[in-house]
């Protein structure tokens, strides 16, 4: 089956500066993808290229099998059937909620326009707020109005640029799940730009990790978390400590946290590696492979405690351990790795 959206070998520049390079991925009908990465990595530029706001220097973008962006030809944004929800929502302050939603439906007959507005009000659960103005709504309600307005003309693809960044943490997560439900109900494919991995995990069927202008990995959120393509991806999708390692044998690696048996053999003993260790991969307790780590600081987080340890090598690492572990500042405890992620140095 042909994908809805196909981005092939895309390169975008601002003047002589390359912002995106060799970007390729595909999105199916009804699929929701999140673009995750640090500030300045090119996420918004990629979104703007798909929307038609950013010219393409090399490669191309197709939607529904038809070219919409290439160095030689660009379909105007208003002809792409691509909806956009901006970071600041861009609602019209002088229009009511229902008037905002109806703004892009002027080509419809009045009865059809009113029916579509009612349908969307019901979908975003704001049917009792139809006559209110944006300043009378909460941030979460404004976000849902912006989403409803973008969905009103039935776009083939919806683009959302940091849609939850103005909201508090708890509301961001709940709205990410809510937006996923609304998009599912409409059957609309979407790409959501975010720098918050919890949002990306909740909202996306697919996850694209951007770093340094390159698409480092494109896969399901679970696969990327469990099998990151490289150390950069591992650090973007999860908290952890990156340590040097040395391969002693095909299935044995030596690190500053002791020796670790590997599940899969690696060739070339003596090879220098990078070892990414998440909190869940650190185990306190006596073991022949454990090292004596000194507790420098501890911060209670509720269900877990964030510890700062100094290893015998002098390196300082952090780990959030289950609250059942209670270690006093200044004490020394045995610490070892259970399942590290290993990458080429």
Q: How much is the pLDDT for 269? A: 63
Taking residues 208-219, what's their average pLDDT? 97
Q: What's the CATH code, domain 5-236?
A: 3.40.50.300
pLDDT at 298 over 70: yes
Q: How much is the pLDDT for 70? A: 96
Pick the CATH number of 239-344 from 2.70.70.10, 1.10.8.80, 2.40.50.140, 3.40.50.410: 2.40.50.140
Q: How much is the pLDDT for 211? A: 95
Q: How much is the pLDDT for 264? A: 76
Taking residues 188-216, what's their average pLDDT? 94
Q: In 223-315, at which residue ranges do the beta strands (DSSP E only) sit?
A: 241-249, 252-255, 258-261, 272-277, 282-284, 291-300, 304-310
Other beta carbons within 10 Å of 344: 10
Q: How much is the pLDDT for 90? A: 85
Q: How much is the pLDDT for 268? A: 67
Per-residue confidence at 171, pLDDT binned at 50, 70, 90? confident
Q: Is 118 exposed, middle or buried (0-12, 13-18, 19+ CB in 10 A)?
A: middle
179: nearest Cα among 49, 33, 48, 78: 33
Q: How much is the pLDDT for 79? A: 94
Instruction: Report CA-CA distances (Å) from 295 to 14, 151, 260, 286, 323.
Output: 48, 52, 22, 16, 15
CA distance 283 to 337: 6
pLDDT > 70 in the chain, percent? 99
pLDDT tens-digit profile of 73-130?
Answer: 999 999 999 999 988 888 999 999 999 999 989 889 999 999 999 999 999 989 999 9
Q: Where are the alpha helices (DSSP H) in the chain?
A: 43-51, 97-102, 110-123, 139-151, 169-186, 197-203, 221-226, 231-237
Taking residues 18-38, what's their average pLDDT? 96
Q: How much is the pLDDT for 12? A: 97
Q: How much is the pLDDT for 164? A: 78
Taking residues 251-273, what's their average pLDDT? 82
pLDDT tens-digit profile of 151-164?
Answer: 999 999 999 998 87
For residue 135, the 8-state DSSP code is G
CA distance 290 to 35: 38
pLDDT at 221 over 70: yes
- Per the CB < 8 A criterion, the answer to whether 337 and 255 are in contact is yes
Quote the radius of gyration of the chain (alpha carbons, Å). 24
For residue 74, the 8-state DSSP code is B
- Per the CB < 8 A criterion, the answer to whether 319 and 276 are in contact is no
Q: How much is the pLDDT for 14? A: 93
Q: How much is the pLDDT for 270? A: 65
Q: How much is the pLDDT for 207? A: 97
pLDDT tens-digit profile of 47-73?
Answer: 999 999 999 999 999 999 999 999 999
Per-residue confidence at 263, pLDDT binned at 50, 70, 90? confident
Domain extent listing, the chain: 5-236, 239-344
Q: What totals of helices (H) and strands (E) does the chain contain, helices first? A: 8, 20
Q: Taking all residues of the chain, what is their mean pLDDT, rounded to a whole number?
A: 91
pLDDT at 267 over 80: no
């Amino acid at each position: 089956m042909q994908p809805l959206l196909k981005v092939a070998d895309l390169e975008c520049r601002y003047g002589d500066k390359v912002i995106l390079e060799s970007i390729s991925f595909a999105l199916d009908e009804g699929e929701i993808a999140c673009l995750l990465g640090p500030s300045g990595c090119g996420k918004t530029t990629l979104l703007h290229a798909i929307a038609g706001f950013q010219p393409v220097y090399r490669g191309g973008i197709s939607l529904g099998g038809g070219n919409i962006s290439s160095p030689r030809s660009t379909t105007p944004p208003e002809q792409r059937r691509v909806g956009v929800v901006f970071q600041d929502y861009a609602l019209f302050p002088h229009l009511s909620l229902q008037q905002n939603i109806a703004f892009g439906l002027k080509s419809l007959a009045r009865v059809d326009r009113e029916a579509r507005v009612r349908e969307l009000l019901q979908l975003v659960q704001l049917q009792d707020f139809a006559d209110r103005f944006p300043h009378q709504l909460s941030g979460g309600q404004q976000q849902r109005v912006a989403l409803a307005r973008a969905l009103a003309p039935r776009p083939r693809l919806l683009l959302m640029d940091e849609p939850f960044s103005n909201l508090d943490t708890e509301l961001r997560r709940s709205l990410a799940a809510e937006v996923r439900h609304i998009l599912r109900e409409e059957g609309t494919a979407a790409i959501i730009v975010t720098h918050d991995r919890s949002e990306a995990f909740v909202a996306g069927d697919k996850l694209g990790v951007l770093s340094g202008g390159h698409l480092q990995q494109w896969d399901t959120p679970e696969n990327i978390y469990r099998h990151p393509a490289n150390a950069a991806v591992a650090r973007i999708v999860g908290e952890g400590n990156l340590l040097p390692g040395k391969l002693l044998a095909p299935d044995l690696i030596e690190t500053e946290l002791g020796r670790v048996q590997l599940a899969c053999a690696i060739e070339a003993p003596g090879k220098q590696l990078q070892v990414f260790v998440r909190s869940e991969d650190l185990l306190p307790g006596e073991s022949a492979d454990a090292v004596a780590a000194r507790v420098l600081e501890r911060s209670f987080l509720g269900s877990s405690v964030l510890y700062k340890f100094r290893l015998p090598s002098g390196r300082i690492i952090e780990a959030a351990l289950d609250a059942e572990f209670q270690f006093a500042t200044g004490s020394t405890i045995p610490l070892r790795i259970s399942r590290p992620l290993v990458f080429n140095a």
